[in-house]
Structure 1
């Protein structure tokens, strides 16, 4: 009561001074005490005292590039927050993210929880092991092959649109199909290919995860149904009831949610309630709810009309943990949300990046097309099969080189050092220290990839030591928390890239222009304006 009475007696100016002093001391004292013994490591000045430096960098959408520049300036170890050390060394991947080292995900992942914790954002090792057991078999190579016809179906639908655009391009016509429209010039159709890759990826994952597409390819529009009442949809509704939905741009919702969560996640837990009151974070907070609403509406619709169709949701329903228990409806919905995010944005971003790099390097595009023409000359179907593309070496090199330069997740995923400490690259860190290994920087390590590491050159995949490459190639993360859907992602990219570049030829509208990206949790192209025409083989 004495302290409270004293505070109440203070005038406004004194209260402001006291608050500021406490904030300063709250940041300076931990730096002086240095509980994780990382004070000596270099990094931005503000990052030594506060999470706000990394929060601002994340919010501006170029975290990977900024951290990369810090490593170029300071070397292998860079302190990017009061208790966060970034380690840019391929050898660190095998330690920080290794099986059995006991490290845990940091509170960064709390910012990605909406419906309930899923496989991606759970921080409990037992909970993760249980979920992984249920989910992992769904994404085995054998299981994934069951989804191939659906992938090929939507690539075929994309071709119907693109063939029509090519015909219009030859006639010098223009139109507004897709965001940004298209125009014919010099025998090509010129358009932004990114929205189309978004439509393709969302329709594929909608069909695979929920048993029906979002209809984006059909409507040439970014729109998905969102449940108005989350509680009503999760609780269930009768066969004669109609779920109330509204339509929102799903791609934009995912982008806003990724930026929000990636920025909120790097802030200290006590800062987050304050940050949520800021107008910029309000937009992101709404995106979190909207994205959850998309998954909730899709799951509710799918469960309302039971089917024996072999989609991801059906397989999730069949899965059981060690005690023989299946997932509950809310848990099922949370995992479906994870699949929606992981299976849409990543595929569209990667497809767009591959198109950019091939259009920017015509000699590489020609070399790939020569391999495709020779290997697939007997196939009449314009959409290739996984079986016919899985062993094409240059196709694989092109995809890997694109994922190296444009890994969809470029940031260092944060891990907490377990009890007993952890020794990484000759340095020992105490329990609770937050460590990460930045994929963006590892993928540009000149000791591994050569002096031309910043250049797109698929030939390096045939020249360099395979063991060195595999240690430094991290597009799907590493260890027990690596991407469970990598088999599905690999199959999709092989079919999409082989089919598209066998059928079309691309050039860039502005070859000299830098490939602009913006980063939330994932790195996403801003746009990719290309000139496309049908190939004559």
Structure 2
């Protein structure tokens, strides 16, 4: 009898699991057979690293609303952006995001820094409050004062490219873009370069840890109840430095707590983020706490390099794959250079007068946005109708930017083609629709707070490379076979490019 009760309980649980989907009010929503019963289907597809392609195929086969788990639905509908992500929306982030945070402590010893984060916060009201504390620091108006920091790093980056050009060496350009972006973030945050460009190495192994962090979050977030245990096991096995997020936190804290770094940050000609954070904390420690200072520095370190490196790589991948577009951008850059309207280090203001450059960046970010998984949200307590389908409270719905950006309804029948000219149209209505559905940095109130840093770096670096160097593509840098890996962010795994020095006299 003692044996049969647990057995019967287990059988009953399995029976409920099998039968429940058949009586769900959303049972008519199509999707893969296994996804109706288990999230293991989604876990496997994410583990394969190409869900941005899988998600598109699901919509091509099943239509605008498709299931990818027992309670997970991907939506491709013109109304989804406003309903799910619009300002004032009550669709909170799903439990998938909890795996991107430090889990609650089990003991007093485990308590410590690093609990506050804008990205993974599932509380709408708390997110609004905390984001407000950082908003002014990340505004473009504030960031343009940091242009000299980006210029210093661009000078070293250009020096490295010149060395590669003289040696005839092919390099992984994405890696060097990440070195550049990391050092810019170091300057902006701490008024001190991390030294990636100087050493040409992964300083402290932090790039590898960031990659592991994204893979961990993408997979464990599907089964978030495992996160507290797996997080501790991973960090226990990794030793003193920790693993993934914990490792990155310690990397950021070491620099934040370094007395020389603090002194440099406070005495720098330009007020670094750290100096601003410390001043705000000193002025009102109850509103802007130590945790806010840590969160700001950690966010910059963990998300401020990979995203910019991927976006820069995407721009040059599409330019190398489309020589006519590369030629047009070169003509625009050379023309301004010849007229004396392009500084040695192009200023952000100068780049805003370059319409083709702006169109190239928008088009590259359209075809290769950073995030490659559905941005999951939970339907609020009153339920919601999206695309003609009623979703009960608690249902997880999401839009995948890779699906949205290639939707012919928004971007035309050539939505899969790289065509910067689409952004130069004089058709105001067409441009309005495209801009409404162009969301490479996220949507609504959860838009990436650091997007202006990325756009500042890209706007300044791209024309300098185009003006000063010839780029020679390889099989992995152009064409349709660009190798990428989707661990929530879709990063190229090989972007080999050769550089040559351009004849400056030919540009005059």
TM-score by length of 1: 0.83
Q: 1:288 aligned to 2:255?
A: no
- Write the mapping of 1:151-190 to structure 2, written as runs, cut at 5 A: 151-169=150-168, 182=169, 190=170
| Equivalent residue runs for 1:42-81 within 5 Å | 42-81=30-69
- 1:149 aligned partner: 148
Change (3 A) 1:530 1:89: same
Question: Which residue of the partner structure matches residue 297 of structure 1?
Answer: 254
Question: Which secondary structure state, in structure 2, belongs to the residue aligned with residue 307 of structure 1?
Answer: helix
Say which SS state the counterpart of residue 145 (structure 2) adopts.
helix
Q: How far apart in 2 are the matches of 1:325 and 1:414?
A: 32
User: Residue in 2 aligned with 1:25?
Assistant: 15
Alignment partner, residue 491 of structure 1: 456
Task: Deviation per CA, 1:341-398: give whole Å up to 9, x if none.
Answer: 2211110111111111111211111100100111233157432111111121100110
Q: How far, CA to CA, are the matches of 1:20 and 1:195 in structure 2? A: 50
Measure the CA separation in 2 of the matches of 1:530 and 1:324.
49
What's 1:395 paired with? 357
Aligned mates of 1:320, 1:492 — CA distance in 2: 28
* 8 A Cα contact 1:376 1:388, kept in partner: no
1:441 has 2:403 as partner: yes
Distance 1:20 1:376 in 2: 73
User: Is the CA contact 2:234–2:243 (under 8 Å) kept in the aligned structure 1?
Assistant: no
SS of aligned partner of 1:314: helix
Matched, 1:531 2:483: no
The CA distance in 2 between the partners of 1:88 and 1:530, in whole Å, is: 36
**Could you tell me how far apart the structure 1 residues matched to 2:417 and 2:372 are?**
17
Q: CA deviation at 1:280?
A: 13
Q: Does 1:6 align with 2:5?
A: no
TM-fit CA distance, 1:445: 0.7
Show the 5 A alignment for 1:191-340: 191-223=171-203, 248-267=204-223, 269-272=224-227, 286-301=243-258, 305=263, 307-309=266-268, 310-319=271-280, 325-340=286-301
CA contact (8 A) 1:133 1:321 kept: no
**Residues 65-144 of structure 1: pairs in structure 2 closer than 5 A:** 65-114=53-102, 115-144=114-143
The unaligned stretches of length 5 or more in structure 1 are: 170-181, 183-189, 224-247
Deviations 1:266-294 (A, max 9, x none): 22x445467669999978x8222212221
In the alignment, which residue of structure 1 is the partner of 2:109?
A: none
From 284, 292, 306, the equivalent of 1:345 is 306
Partner of residue 386, structure 1:
348
1:505 aligned partner: 470
Contact 1:350/1:408, CA 8 A, preserved across alignment = yes
Distance 1:275 1:90 in 2: 39
SS at match of 1:94: helix
Cα 1:72–1:513, aligned 2, differ >3 Å: closer, same or farther? Answer: closer
Q: Following the alignment from structure 1 to structure 2, what is the Cα–Cα distance between the partners of residues 469 and 512?
A: 25
Distance 2:85 2:467 in 1: 38
Q: CA deviation at 1:450?
A: 2.1
Q: Distance in 1 between matches of 2:273 and 2:155?
A: 21
Instruction: Check conservation: 1:42, 1:79, Cα contact below 8 A.
Output: yes
Which whole-Å CA distance do the structure 2 matches of 1:389 and 1:88 have between them?
34
- C-alpha change, 1:48 and 1:159, in structure 2 (3 Å) is same
Contact 1:130 1:322 in 2 (8 A): no
Q: Which moved more, 1:51-60 or 1:150-159?
A: 51-60
1:214/1:447 CA distance change after superposition, 3 Å: same
Contact 2:99–2:227 (Cα < 8 Å) also in 1: no
Match of 1:455 in 2: 417
Cα deviations across residues 199-218 of structure 1 (Å, max 9, x unaligned)? Answer: 10111111111221110100
Once the two structures are TM-superposed, the CA of residue 329 in structure 1 deviates from its matched residue by 2.4
Q: What is residue 486 of structure 2 aligned with on the other side?
A: 519
Contact 2:378/2:396 (<8 A) preserved: yes
Paired residues of 1:275 and 1:281 also in contact (CA < 8 A): no
Question: Bigger shift: 424-433 or 500-509?
Answer: 424-433
Q: CA deviation at 1:446?
A: 1.5
SS of the equivalent of 2:375 reads coil
Offset from partner CA, 1:101-130 (integer Å, 9 cap, x none): 211111111011022131111111221111
- Distance (whole Å) between structure 1 residues aligned to residue 236 and residue 356 of structure 2: 44
**Aligned CA-pair RMSD:** 2.7
Q: 1:414 aligns to what SS in structure 2? A: strand
More helix by share: 2
Cα separation, partners in 2 of 1:374 and 1:324, compared to 1, 3 Å: same
What are the residue-to-residue correspondences of 1:413-428 with 2, within 5 Å? 413-428=375-390
Name structure 2 gaps, 5 residues minimum.
Answer: 103-113
Q: Tell me, yes or no, if the aligned pair for 2:266 and 2:272 is still in contact at 8 Å.
A: no
Deviation of the 1:313 alpha carbon: 2.1
User: Closer, same or farther in 2 for the Cα pair 1:340/1:107, shift >3 Å?
Assistant: same
Query: 1:133 deviation in Å?
Result: 1.0
Would the alpha carbon gap of residues 129 and 156 (structure 1) be closer, same or farther in structure 2, given more than 3 Å must change? same
**Superposition TM-score, scaled by structure 2 size:** 0.88
Shift of the alpha carbon at 1:45? 1.3
Which residue of 457, 472, 478 maps to 2:437? 472
1:453-498 alpha-carbon deviations (Å, 9 max, x no partner): 2121111222361111012211011211111222222111110111
